[in-house]
Structure 1
Amino acid sequence: MNVRRRLIPAAALAGAFALGATALTACSGSAGAAAGGKDGKLDVTASFYPMQFLAEQIGKDHVKVTTLTKPGVEPHDLEITPKQTAQLGEADVVLYLKSLQPAVDKAVAQSGVKNVVDAATLTQLEAHSASGHESHESHEGQEHGASEEGHDHGEAGEDPHIWLDPVKFAEVAKGVGAALEKADPDHAADYGKNTADLLAKLTGLDGEFKEGLANTASKTFITTHSAFGYLAERYGLDQEGISGVDPESEPSPARMKDLQAIAKKDNVTTVFFETLASDKTAKTLARDTGLQTDVLDPLEGITDTSQGADYLEVMRSNLKNLRKALGAK
Structure 2
Amino acid sequence: MNIRRLVPVTAVSAAVAAGLVGLSACSGSSAAADHKDGKLHVVASFYPLQYLTQEIGGDHVSVTNLTKPGVEPHDLELSPKQTVALSSVDAIVYLKGLQPAVDEAIKQSGVKYTADAASMTTLEKHGTEVDGHHHTTGDNDSHSESEAGLDPHIWLDPVRFAQVAKGVDKTLAAADPKHKADYRKNTDALVRKLDALNKQYVNGLKNRTSDTFVTTHAAFGYLAERYGLTEEAISGIDPESEPSVSRMKDLHALAAKHHVNTVFFETIANPDTARTLAGDLHVKTGVLDPLEGITDKSKGRDYLQVMQSNLAALQKALGAE
- Letter of the 1:269 partner, please give it: N
Question: Deviation of residue 249 (structure 1)?
Answer: 2.5
1:327 matched to 2:312? The reply is no
Question: Deviation of residue 275 (structure 1)?
Answer: 0.6
SS in 1 for 2:97: coil
Q: State the alpha-carbon separation in 1 of the partners of residues 56 and 143 from structure 2.
A: 40
1:173-216: per-residue Cα shift (whole Å, max 9, x none)? 01111111111111111111100100000000000001111121
For residue 19 of structure 2, what is the aligned residue in structure 1?
none
Alignment of 1:189-200 (within 5 A): 189-200=181-192
Question: Deviation of residue 281 (structure 1)?
Answer: 0.7
1:44-102: per-residue Cα shift (whole Å, max 9, x none)? 00000001001100001100000110111111111111111111111100000001111
- Letter of the 1:238 partner, please give it: T
Structure 2 residue corresponding to 1:133, chosen from 115, 135, 138: 138
SS in 1 for 2:43: strand
Structure 1 residue corresponding to 2:237, chosen from 227, 234, 245: 245
- Judged with a 3 Å threshold, the aligned counterparts in structure 2 of structure 1 residues 134 and 85 are, in CA distance, closer, same or farther, namely same
Alignment of 1:310-325 (within 5 A): 310-325=302-317
Alignment of 1:206-285 (within 5 A): 206-285=198-277
- Judged with a 3 Å threshold, the aligned counterparts in structure 2 of structure 1 residues 112 and 30 are, in CA distance, closer, same or farther, namely closer
- Asked whether the 8 Å contact 1:270–1:325 carries over to 2, the reply is yes
Q: State the alpha-carbon separation in 2 of the partners of residues 170 and 241 from structure 1.
A: 26
For residue 301 of structure 1, what is the aligned residue in structure 2?
293
Question: Deviation of residue 136 (structure 1)?
Answer: 10
For residue 119 of structure 1, what is the aligned residue in structure 2?
117
- Asked whether the 8 Å contact 2:44–2:65 carries over to 1, the reply is yes
1:168 matched to 2:160? The reply is yes
Once the two structures are overlaid, the 10-residue window that deviates more, 67-76 or 129-138, is 129-138
Structure 2 residue corresponding to 1:287, chosen from 273, 279, 291: 279
For residue 75 of structure 1, what is the aligned residue in structure 2?
73
- Letter of the 2:43 partner, please give it: T
- Judged with a 3 Å threshold, the aligned counterparts in structure 2 of structure 1 residues 244 and 35 are, in CA distance, closer, same or farther, namely farther
- Letter of the 2:214 partner, please give it: I
TM-score relative to the length of structure 2: 0.86
Q: State the alpha-carbon separation in 2 of the partners of residues 304 and 192 from structure 1.
A: 32
**Root-mean-square deviation (CA), in Å?**
1.9
- Letter of the 2:256 partner, please give it: K
- Asked whether the 8 Å contact 1:36–1:92 carries over to 2, the reply is no
Question: Deviation of residue 221 (structure 1)?
Answer: 0.5
SS in 2 for 1:294: strand
1:91-125: per-residue Cα shift (whole Å, max 9, x none)? 10000000111111112112222211100011111
Q: State the alpha-carbon separation in 2 of the partners of residues 166 and 55 from structure 1.
A: 15
Structure 1 residue corresponding to 2:55, chosen from 27, 36, 57: 57
- Asked whether the 8 Å contact 2:210–2:259 carries over to 1, the reply is yes
For residue 146 of structure 2, what is the aligned residue in structure 1?
142
1:181 matched to 2:186? The reply is no
User: How many residue pairs are counted as aligned between the two chains?
Assistant: 287
- Asked whether the 8 Å contact 2:216–2:233 carries over to 1, the reply is yes
Question: Deviation of residue 35 (structure 1)?
Answer: 4.5
SS in 2 for 1:126: coil
For residue 91 of structure 1, what is the aligned residue in structure 2?
89
Q: State the alpha-carbon separation in 2 of the partners of residues 170 and 309 from structure 1.
A: 20
Which one scores higher on RCO, CA 8 angstroms, separation ≥ 6?
1
- Judged with a 3 Å threshold, the aligned counterparts in structure 2 of structure 1 residues 79 and 172 are, in CA distance, closer, same or farther, namely same
TM-score relative to the length of structure 1: 0.84
| Unpaired runs of at least 5, structure 1 | 1-28, 145-156
Alignment identity in percent? Answer: 62
- Judged with a 3 Å threshold, the aligned counterparts in structure 2 of structure 1 residues 116 and 135 are, in CA distance, closer, same or farther, namely same
1:282-304: per-residue Cα shift (whole Å, max 9, x none)? 00100111111000000000001
- Asked whether the 8 Å contact 1:161–1:230 carries over to 2, the reply is yes
